[in-house]
Amino acid sequence: MADTTSPVTAPDTVAPLRASMKFSLWAWALYWPGCGLLLWGLGMQDPTSIAVVLVTTAGFLLAMATGALRTKTEGPNALRQHLVDRPLYLLAILTVFMVASAAVPGSANAGLILFSALYLASIAWIFVCLRRHLKATGSGYFSSGADQLVLLLGGAGFLSLLVFIDALSQGLDLPGVGAPNSAVGLFNVLQILYPVFLLVAARPFREPLRLPRANTRIRLVVERSEPKPAGQE
């Protein structure tokens, strides 16, 4: 009888989980700094909101610099993995909303609804991939170290749901629906730290973070320590 637990036949559930976390970071960036830049271009003048845009943009750039969004496009599913790990097409959609918002009324609200929904869906996707991974490995939430990630997903999912409802109510002009401006401002401030919390809580499952220069130094050290064939010393 074939060994179904061998590396060849066992399903890889870590890669989809890591891909979902990378996609969630992109979805976070598309809504918070991305849509913030959209509103800023439309004349947003609130100093707190502008500070949120600047801080979240810097946080996303830092996540890219540390390799949190590094993509390895190898194997038969390289193209599909690249579309998930690095969804540059969503940046193109955001650019379209930025251009259209200057001439088409309501385009900015449509962009807020779309990308807040995408961010909420990305958090739910992480939870689905996490459950699938734990079921495949037979691990529990505490024994695998997933308890912190579950708490984060629950809190971030609740806040992102409230923000999505608020964006939906503003876009569709629904009376009596949504959250007060002070509450929305509090949600924004808490969501600034989502990438940091995600990278910390998902430490047992994500790839290690290394600066690009650190990777180069490590590779050089390994190459120098390897024995050279006779005649090449």
* Gyration radius of the chain's alpha carbons: 21
Higher-pLDDT residue of 217 and 173 is 173
pLDDT in tens, 135-167: 998 888 888 889 999 999 998 998 888 888 888
Amino acid identity for residue 113 in this structure: I
Enumerate the domain spans of the chain.
14-207
How confident is residue 2, by pLDDT bands cut at 50, 70 and 90? very low
pLDDT in tens, 99-127: 887 777 778 888 888 999 999 999 999 99
DSSP structural state of residue 144: T
Global pTM reads 0.73
Beta carbons of 111 and 9 less than 8 angstroms apart: no
Longest dimension (CA), the chain: 81
**Residue 15 confidence (pLDDT) above 90:** no
Q: Give me 102's structure tokens.
A: 């200057």
- The mean pLDDT of 178-194, rounded to a whole number, is 65
pLDDT the model gives residue 175:
55
* Angle ∠(224,225,227) on CA atoms, nearest 5: 100
Beta carbons of 59 and 195 less than 8 angstroms apart: yes
DSSP structural state of residue 192: T
How confident is residue 12, by pLDDT bands cut at 50, 70 and 90? confident
pLDDT the model gives residue 209:
72
How confident is residue 201, by pLDDT bands cut at 50, 70 and 90? very high
Run of H or E residues at 114:
helix 107-137
Number of CB atoms found within 10 A of residue 209's CB? 14
* Range with lowest mean pLDDT among 78-82, 102-106, 208-212: 78-82
Higher-pLDDT residue of 143 and 50 is 143
Q: Give me 62's structure tokens.
A: 């830092």
